[in-house]
Structure 1
């Protein structure tokens, strides 16, 4: 089972109860559970993320995937972690994928990020929380048919535009040609995402405001 925690694109942070139930079902049925937790640092103030593997300390059929790329904007350094407790699975991984030696710059950057940048991350989360609050107020006021709930994690708006009656292709076309913004259409996440658009709000308030103004004007024309 491939599991996304916190969930992308909805931003749901799974409760401890949900995680225990999902994990136990997998373990009881001998299902390998791969938990993608790349957004684990980026949850709303007061929300707690539980790493799946920590809830089952004696299980070795859980693989955890993390990275500093989302949290600290280090994607260009190609640094990530795949934590495999099971010796046989680890050997299979190394045989298939191998071990990629990170660059010296990447190693220094990751050490600096996790050892010295906690206060910066706290400030970032506060700013993202405020961006969400701003976006919620703006969308409720200027996009009456849109639906948006502030998520518990990530830095994405999962914007429900189904009430506008446009196909995914029409929405993508409207965003690019009329609103002049490049978003990610919900259909990239499967049929359930039709009619949604994903907006990255890890940006300045001014940039977010300009994007929302353009989107609202294009939708309400």
Structure 2
């Protein structure tokens, strides 16, 4: 398989879970992949060795670091922004600094990365941001800041689609539901509650999300932009 042979790909937040699956998918299809990591150096180095990709330490909460990494990657054919965090708990009790950090990682970083990538991106480039079905639906308390951050990505995609469309650059949001990762394991304590909202009563697999990302990055999706692509077993239906 070489659907992305020699394409230049940067994945922000690629050392674990969904991000690692995306790195593996592009690398397996011939792309030249660089990915970032922050707190998972060991996992990042192992993934880089396994896949023949390059790992770069970058704190997505640091706007200037994100911009520098994107700029330093040169002209990108594909940018995937996967880095994100969640802060759960009663909004009245949460640390404002923690919430501001969440917004820097989940909102500011995708925006600045997308804009910086577009400066050098060739005609027909692809920008894909990993959001969440919680941008559409929040069925439980304690996740307002997370839901807000994922809803913001919808406006980002719709707006930048207009800005970048004349150059054939597409920007889309992939919105997973529960996916089996370290952060949300399929056998975790929230499993039964989450599955109760779903038509397909299981966690998704990171590889399934990577498959949707690969389609959006490929030639068949050249007319798809400014859109949300939900992959959630009908969690949000």
**Fold shared per TM-score above 0.5:** no
TM-score, length of structure 1 as denominator length: 0.28
Largest Rg, 1 or 2: 1
TM-score, length of structure 2 as denominator length: 0.27
User: Which structure shows the bigger proportion of residues in helix conformation?
Assistant: 1
